[in-house]
Structures are given as structure tokens and as C-alpha cells.
Amino acid sequence: RADDISSYHRLDWVIPVIQLFHLQMLLASTILRTHYGTASTPGSIAFNVSLLERKRVSLEKPDFHATNELLRESFDALVQRAWEL
């Protein structure tokens, strides 16, 4: 494709756009790596994983759907607790 005659056939007009699902996967794994902590630290993701007995959430090979569900539930719990105060 790089040696095609026209810019149309070289796909010079294409604008690369990151897809929403891939962006969500990237952000979920970034949040997981940043805030994982240890199981003995209250408020860390590792603490929530052990408390809720989640098996598929780990730093080695995170499952997106399990991680996404855990992050959403943790966020909802934090917001609900803040709202009660």
C-alpha cells in the first residue's frame, strides 16, 4: 500500500481512532495496576477482591469483564457511602 499511486489508495485519508472498548480495557487495567495495593489495606482493590471473593481479578492476567464489574461495584459503594455521610 505504501507504493500505491494515489493518496486514496495509500489510505492517507484514514484517521486512526481508538475504539471505546479498547479504551475501557486500557483504563481498567491502568486503574487496577495503580490502585491494587495489598489485601490487608482497607480501600485497596486487593482488599475488595478478597472481601468479595473475586477469583478472576488479578494483576498477572486481568479479565476485563470481572475487573470492570469490580470497579463499577466499588465505585457505586464509595458513592453510596459518601452520600450517606
**Does 55 fall in a domain?**
yes
State residue 15's pLDDT score: 85
Q: How large is the angle between the packed helices 64-84 and 45-52, nearest 10 degrees? A: 100
Residue with cell 478472576: 56
Query: Does any domain span residue 78?
Result: yes
Query: Does any domain span residue 30?
Result: yes
Per-residue confidence in pLDDT tens, the chain, 85 aa: 667 788 888 888 888 888 899 999 999 999 999 999 999 999 999 999 999 999 999 998 889 999 999 999 999 999 999 999 8
Which grid coordinates belong to 69? 464489574
In this structure, is residue 5 part of a structural domain? Answer: no
Domain count, the chain: 1
Q: In terms of C-beta density within 10 A (0-12 exposed, 13-18 middle, 19 or more buried), how is residue 1 classed?
A: exposed
Q: How far apart are CA 50 and CA 62, in angstroms?
A: 15
Q: What is the pLDDT of residue 12?
A: 82
Residue 13, domain member (yes or no): no
Residue-number span of the structural domain to which 75 is assigned: 20-84
Q: What predicted TM-score, i.e. pTM, was given to this entire model?
A: 0.74
In-domain check, residue 4: no
Query: Is 32 in contact with 45 (CB distance < 8 Å)?
Result: yes
